Structure 1
Amino acid sequence: MTVEAGAAIEWALRVCQSMAFAIHGILGVTEPWTGCVTHAFRDTGAMPKWFWPVAGIILWTVAILNFSKNDKVILGVQAYIAAFHMGGYFYHARLGHHPAAGLAPAVFALLAFFVVWIRTGSVLVALIGWIVSTGIAYGLSRVLVTPPTSEEANDGTNGLLDEMAGSTRYQSGAVA
């Protein structure tokens, strides 16, 4: 791959990241008034109340800093992206959600891995960065995420994606 092609791909990946973070920042900042994130994730107090608004503001900051002219800033942003989104994976795991629920945030950690690889030219640097970020995310998930009690875990309401495994409207014959 040429340097120009790598730079174009890397730029496109950062644009995708920043667009998603701008949108998700809105969800985080407005969470105290809407409750949409905690409702969607069936989070009944697993995260501290301050987390979502703070995360939203940081995501907005990351969305902007992702276009810095400074390579070190970009690499720092990518480390944060990997840690935050692997934290999302562990959040879903600690809440007992279906394993696929954690893959959505993990995709952004994978994008960060590729941005670092392209930017540094070293898969080893990208891999070590991802491993360190994942370790930090795991540690923070143990501190910040309160798993559901055994009663909550066994009531059948917190397995995000589980009820979606049933038949669709078309399979059930509801739609002709």
Structure 2
Amino acid sequence: MTADTNVIEWALRVCQSVAFAIHGILGVSEPFTGCVQHAFRDTHGAMPKWFWPVAGLLLWTVAYLNFSPNDAVVLGVQAYVAAFHMGGFFYHQRLHHHLAAGLVPAFFALLAFVIVAIRTGSVLIALVGWWVCTCIAFGLSKLLVAPPPSNGNEGGPTPGTNLLEGGMRVD
């Protein structure tokens, strides 16, 4: 930690990185254990098979880069954190989980917001960054997350597929 690093901001990044290191293990091991899909009651494979291991590797990378001496790297990490975790919020929403389930990953996006606000000294920059990352996350959730099969899914992707796999029906 450098002398000009805010102690609270540093502690928040430590909390993030510890969580990401642990969750990276879950992501990388998902193809072998199925623990993430089981915990989320994802019985239809809402995410592409490659997603969880890639996410795990990226979380490990983020956990490491979160301590870069380069401000731009740390801010980039926080942008990824916000987008990834707001994506987690939308993942839970698309699977029709309780709102509280989505608030857990959204909390990490809030931490990213606070870290960016402290680092830049601007709540406005942090807010705009969070909003942009949330929009990206929403778009990616539509692209990657297959909603659970249901009746009356008119105009959307084929039940149980995401936009990459099922495409849009044109009637």
> What TM bracket, shorter-length normalisation?
0.7 to 0.9
Match of 2:11 in 1: 12
For residues 40 and 26 of structure 1, the distance between their equivalents in structure 2, rounded to whole angstroms, comes to 15
* Displaced runs of 4 or more, over 4 A: none
Which is higher, the Rg of structure 1 or of structure 2?
1
Alpha-carbon separation, structure 1, partners of 2:76 and 2:5: 19
Instruction: Report the Cα offset of residue 75 of structure 1.
Output: 0.3
Counterpart check, 1:51 vs 2:55: no
> How far apart are residue 88 of structure 1 and its match?
0.1
Q: Could you tell me how far apart the structure 2 residues matched to 1:75 and 1:5 are?
A: 16
Report what 1:145 is aligned to. 145
The Cα offsets for residues 118-157 of structure 1, whole Å up to 9 and x where unpaired, read as 0000000000000000000000000000000116xxxxxx
- CA shift at 1:99, angstroms? 0.7
Separation (CA, whole Å) in 2 of partners of 1:48 and 1:139: 16
**Which residue is 2:23 aligned to?**
24
Show structure 2 runs of 5+ residues with no match: 152-171
CA distance in 2, matches of 1:50, 1:79: 22
1:101-140 equivalences in 2 (<5 Å): 101-140=101-140
- Cα displacement (A) at 1:42: 1.1
Identity, % of aligned positions: 75
d(CA) in 1 for partners of 2:105, 2:21: 15
Match of 1:88 in 2: 88
**CA shift for structure 1 position 5:** 9.4
The aligned amino acid for 2:92 is H
Aligned length: 148
**Equivalent-residue separation in structure 1 for 2:96 and 2:87 (angstroms):** 14
Task: Pick 1 or 2: higher relative contact order, CA cutoff 8 A, min separation 6.
Answer: 1
Q: CA deviation at 1:6?
A: 7.2
Q: Which residue of 2 aligns with 1:34?
A: 33
CA distance in 1, matches of 2:15, 2:113: 14
Partner of 1:162: none
**Deviation of residue 90 (structure 1)?**
0.1
Structure 1 residue runs of 5 or longer lacking an equivalent are: 152-176
| TM-score, structure 2 normalization | 0.85
- Corresponding residue SS for 1:97: coil
Instruction: Name 1:70's counterpart in structure 2.
Output: 70
Does structure 2 retain, via aligned residues, the 8 Å contact 1:6–1:118?
no
Letter in 2 for 1:37: V
Measured in 1, the distance between the counterparts of 2:4 and 2:22 equals 28
1:28-54 deviation per Cα after TM superposition (whole angstroms, max 9, x unaligned): 000000000000101121000000000
